[in-house]
Amino acid sequence: MLIYTGLLVVLVVVPYFALHGNAVAIFSDEAGIGTVPILVVYLIANIALPVWVLTTNRPGFRPVKHLLIPLIGSAVLVYGVYEFVQPSQPPPANVFWAWILAIVVVAVAATAIVYVRRPAALQRAATAGPEYITQDAR
């Protein structure tokens, strides 16, 4: 398989330079846009933690450890995502929300395609790793 190493330059950097005149700024913009999906994954993990502990180990549930700390973390993450996606920022950050929405749409579409083609793949991904779960030290 032939991999064209200049694809990023041709498809992204050159058009950005043509539109904005500063090709170096694209990397800082991409870093800002790419941060939000990572924050969203952490947010989902913070929400899932108390639910998972309550469904798998209800006696081991500790309110501070499994509820309060994830809630504080979630508040920080929501603020971070909000700061990235608010449309009242100066350009080009005022359209970050559209790029982030496009990333989410592509991710949902890719997941749907995988689910339609191989439903067992998502089930395997959801159940992978129980052998690495250990009991908390008390």
Mean pLDDT (the chain) is 81
DSSP state of 23: S
| Range among 53-67, 90-104, 110-124 with highest mean pLDDT value | 53-67
- Inter-axis angle of helices 96-117 and 69-85, nearest 10: 120
pLDDT of residue 74: 95
Tell me how far CA of residue 36 lies from CA of 53, 97, 103, 110, in angstroms. Answer: 26, 9, 10, 18
Residue 128 region by backbone torsions, left for phi larger than 0, else alpha for psi between -120 and 50, else beta: beta
Evaluate whether 43 touches 81 at the Cβ level (below 8 Å).
yes
Reply yes or no on whether the pLDDT at 137 is more than 60.
Answer: no
pLDDT of residue 95: 85
Q: What is the mean pLDDT of residues 112-120?
A: 88
The pLDDT-based confidence of 1 (bands split at 50, 70, 90) is very low
Q: How many residues does the chain have?
A: 138
What span, in angstroms and rounded, lies between the C-alpha atoms of 106 and 51?
27
Predicted structure pTM score: 0.68
